[in-house]
A and B are shown apart, each in its own frame.
Chain A
């Protein structure tokens, strides 16, 4: 692979800056169009290691709230997202939770925790 320019949209804030990213052999060598440093960080991650915070909801059993909203506390590789959804579907929450309580530690061995984003009794 040689040098190419890729167009991305930064997703780190609602502005959605259009980024022009020069990529050489899979490595980012230059980022333009970002209005703040987060855009550069995003571009590097998006090209070299694309990742997203995954949000979803898991089923509860015996709690007043039927669906407990959850997220990974840090981004996980994009390529693992559907696998992660399959794992999330297997989970049943049976105990009361507070917001930010860990539902699965070291989720799928990815070094992130799956946490509750709402309290549930």
Chain B
């Protein structure tokens, strides 16, 4: 078993900031585990601007924001960045087991910071009836397909929910030449930022339906259309309000949930900004879903400092 003063799980904005902060607080023996082949996490696929205004006092895209941290990490020789390293187990006695191509390794840590981020809610979590054709994507998956893989997954799109990723993707699909036919939100106001309503939806005259929901997805192999109904303030369907929209793609942007399977499986409890195990910390979106990456950074800097104080 290898030993490290500090192990940080997750090389997205949270884990990178926590690493930098712990290092600057005097911890020089850090292992940073990232499951992907690059650091940066979700920032790499967020090619739009809107990041960094608070932390860097300038407007950056996601990859640029990540790059600033990646560059700082490279100047910190005590931080061992381990890519393609998927953490599979966490224990209360502060060990992390991770899988790297060909090896399963366990590391005993003086302290651990879990910066495992969040994932998107899926169609299953919001219960839309109908068939199960292809063409239903989470907004973030569509973002990855377009921005990382260079594939356009649809031509006629309906966005369900008005989370920021869905709004950003409404613009992205439009720029790529697809037709975004509607953004449908069950609440009476957007869940995403108003600036994204303005620059992603209104800029392109995309119809936005509040107090509406998709009552059914149709299609055999591929999505063919969706049924939409108006709902009242009690969120119940208003009879006679049904209409249909022809489309080949449905994008789900219905919220994010923390990705805390390792913590849950270990029996560790999250308490406030910490856990019930002294020396095991949680930060960033794994702790709380933040609207803005700058806040993830701030939260994670604090976690890095706390971990450093604990180790000393």
Contact = CB atoms under 8 A, between A and B. Distances in A.
A11 B53 CA distance: 12
Contact of B147 (A10, A57, A78, A82): A57
B176 A85 contact: yes
A66 B149 contact: yes
B63 A14 contact: no
Nearest to B292: A14
B158 interface: no
B147 A69 contact: yes
Interface stretch (A20-28, A48-56, A106-114): A48-56
Contacts of B101: none
A59 interface: yes
Interface in A38-94: 52-53, 55-57, 59, 66-67, 69-71, 78, 81-82, 85
Interface residues of A, number: 29
A117 interface: yes
A55 B48 contact: yes
Interface string B275-300: 00000000000000001100000000
23 contacts: A9-B194, A9-B198, A11-B199, A13-B53, A14-B193, A14-B292, A16-B193, A16-B198, A52-B199, A55-B47, A55-B61, A59-B150, A67-B148, A69-B47, A69-B61, A69-B147, A81-B175, A82-B175, A100-B64, A117-B60, A117-B61, A117-B64, A117-B67
Interface of A: 8-14, 16, 18, 52-53, 55-57, 59, 66-67, 69-71, 78, 81-82, 85, 99-100, 117-119
